[in-house]
Structure 1
Amino acid sequence: MHVVPLKKQQAAIDDAIFFEKVDYVLTIPKNFSEMIEQNKQPDLTTQTKPNSFNKAYVDSIINTYLTTFQFYREAFPEKSSQEIVQLTTDNVKTKGKIKFDSSFALIKANRSAGKVFSVLAYTMFASIFSLITLINLSFNKPEIKRRNSCSPISNRKFSRQQFLVGFLFSIVVWGVFVSFAKLFSNIRFDQHGIYFILNTFLLLLVALSFSVFISGLISNMDMVSGINNVFILGSAFISGIFVPTEILPDIVTKVAAFTPSYWYAKNCSLIGKTVHFDANFSADFQFNALILLVFALLFFLLAMVTRRDRGGLKISFAKTA
């Protein structure tokens, strides 16, 4: 503390606080020592700016000193007041060293990395969906569709090539976003990094299958931004990616469980807070990953159904004679 002398007038005190000459004004009564000797609690008057953090900080220091002084008086009744003051002063001047556990820094870094990777549930998902859907809608234009129908390539083969190109394009987008996430999170290629990358690959499968499915349903490019805002961005909000799940109502969390972003974010949080990869972690991670795979498979099957009228992909277990 840096002690600043002030006049006793209230106006001088108010001016000193207003012009930030002082942060904390403490008024010690004249009978302070006598009250301490009589084991009474003295009434100390303080004055600070409204909502000042210094008030709580300095109040804590004063209370610590008085509590320590009272403890020594009760523990050593035979000592004089000067000796008690010396013991108290020596005690409050003692500085301790705090050493964090080795896993503390690791957990802190991995939790930050989990938050960075969880944002991919919107950025990467939306990018893959927007580009693949816009490309597929371009091929569905009547003039381009009629031109492709005149080619020697069958509709089924064309759909397979289109899906393969979309998959390769999604891999490129996935690599770019994972590189950016790794750069901003400073994650290493250790066990945590591998699990983060694996989790984003599962999200890639969901985004690709969802994009192929939706592109087979819509025919207007204006609907792409609507689905982006309603489903992808909306699911990111209710899944705890942009808004912490702790402040969301339970009904919102239950609704979010029907979206793939929720299970992706759960895996990001699970990886970030894990220090030792034990059987419990494996069980939780595999369960969340299985849910993501179910979403990807469901969207893929729906995409095949919607593309059947265009000679799309088809599952067949028997050959037709």
Structure 2
Amino acid sequence: MNRFFYLVYSEIIRLVRMPAYLIPTLAFPIMFFAIFGLPNAKNELGGVNAATYMLVSFSAYSLISTSLFAFGVSIAAERGLGWHKLMRVTPLNPLMYFGSKVVNALIQGLVIIVLLALFARFVGNLSYDVVLFAQAIGKLMLAVGAFVALGLWVGYVGGPNSAAGIANLIFLPMSFASGLFMPLDIMPEFLRNIAPYTPAYHFAQIGWMTLGAKSDTSEMMHWVWVMVYAVAFFMLALVAYRKDEGKNFG
């Protein structure tokens, strides 16, 4: 466990020393919430306050982002540097290596969410139920495993120069199509038809429904969708991992 915690500590120190990555990662969700969320503070979405609804939306966005980029893209970068080959000659368990990166990505996501909540409360003067919001975030932290698995697949399918492009190609269209940036009610019909088949839609619905927002189905069905995606992404990631291991180590 000491080695594991030291790995997590090392990952955090590495990020602190990369302000060109860390500052935009922390700032973008807050900026998006200020643009899309706060102007709707007096409106409603799904039967709940629209700004609080969007606060959960960008919290979900942050967790997906860190799963794909802080976890997945960093694995691809370290593969390109030969770090994985170096790790193979150490007694470090691969699960410990991956686990430390997952914990680091979740810590990043949680820090962003805390900053979002503080910005909404003290800068945007948004009044919201802290307990309900915390419950929504707790559920999202459990459900984010699907995107961690997707990030692992990106990390082994993409190279050090292409992984970020692959992640963006998945992340941005999926975020728009699932209603994280703008309500689906005002989106084109073809996007409303696509949304129920995207993992981010069901992921966000879990958070929204915790606030009391209406949905087209039960919360349990959204959990089922997320779990199905988690299994599918993990299987894809496992195939990509074994292919990479076979190519490098036989």
**Shorter-chain TM-score: which interval?**
0.5 to 0.7
Per-residue deviation, 1:234: 1.1
Spell out, residue by residue over 1:175-211, the C-alpha distance to the aligned partner (whole angstroms, 9 max, x if none).
Answer: 2133124322554443x22431133214522221111
Aligned with 1:210 (options 139, 150, 162) = 150
Per-residue deviation, 1:266: 2.7
Residue in structure 2 matched with residue 291 of structure 1 by the alignment: 225
Change (3 A) 1:118 1:203: farther
1:199/1:289 contact within 8 Å kept: no
d(CA) in 2 for partners of 1:146 and 1:239? 38
2:185/2:192 contact within 8 Å kept: no
Aligned with 2:57 (options 118, 129, 138) = 118
Instruction: Say what the alpha-carbon RMSD is for the aligned residues.
Output: 3.2
d(CA) in 2 for partners of 1:143 and 1:163? 16
Residue in structure 2 matched with residue 74 of structure 1 by the alignment: none
Q: How does 1:142-221 map to 2 (within 5 A)?
A: 143-149=82-88, 151-153=89-91, 157-158=93-94, 160-183=95-118, 184=120, 186-190=127-131, 192-221=132-161
Aligned with 2:241 (options 282, 287, 307) = 307
TM-score (norm 1): 0.52
1:128/1:208 contact within 8 Å kept: yes
Per-residue deviation, 1:118: 0.5
Per-residue deviation, 1:214: 1.1
Per-residue deviation, 1:308: 1.9
One-letter code aligned to 1:296: A
1:235/1:261 contact within 8 Å kept: yes
Per-residue deviation, 1:140: 1.3
1:118/1:264 contact within 8 Å kept: no
Per-residue deviation, 1:212: 0.8
Residue in structure 2 matched with residue 138 of structure 1 by the alignment: 77
Spell out, residue by residue over 1:14-67, the C-alpha distance to the aligned partner (whole angstroms, 9 max, x if none).
Answer: xxxxxxxxxxxxxxxxxxxxxxxxxxxxxxxxxxxxxxxxxxxxxxxxxxxxxx
TM-score (norm 2): 0.65
Q: Which has the larger radius of gyration?
A: 1
Change (3 A) 1:143 1:228: closer
d(CA) in 1 for partners of 2:234 and 2:100? 16
Residue in structure 1 matched with residue 25 of structure 2 by the alignment: none
2:66 aligned with 1:127: yes
Residue in structure 2 matched with residue 65 of structure 1 by the alignment: none
Change (3 A) 1:138 1:182: same
d(CA) in 1 for partners of 2:159 and 2:208? 37
d(CA) in 2 for partners of 1:188 and 1:273? 11
One-letter code aligned to 1:134: V
Residue in structure 2 matched with residue 263 of structure 1 by the alignment: 202
Per-residue deviation, 1:273: 4.1
Spell out, residue by residue over 1:200-227, the C-alpha distance to the aligned partner (whole angstroms, 9 max, x if none).
Answer: 2145222211111111111132441x23
Residue in structure 1 matched with residue 188 of structure 2 by the alignment: 249
Unmatched segments (≥5 aa) in structure 2: 1-42, 122-126
Q: Which has the higher helix share?
A: 2
d(CA) in 1 for partners of 2:97 and 2:190? 40
2:59/2:137 contact within 8 Å kept: no
Per-residue deviation, 1:132: 1.7
Residue in structure 1 matched with residue 177 of structure 2 by the alignment: 238
- RCO (CA 8 Å, sep 6+): is it higher in 1 or 2? 2
Change (3 A) 1:309 1:228: closer
One-letter code aligned to 2:91: I
1:264/1:288 contact within 8 Å kept: yes
Per-residue deviation, 1:268: 3.7
What secondary structure does 1:140 align onto?
helix
How many pairs are equivalent? 196
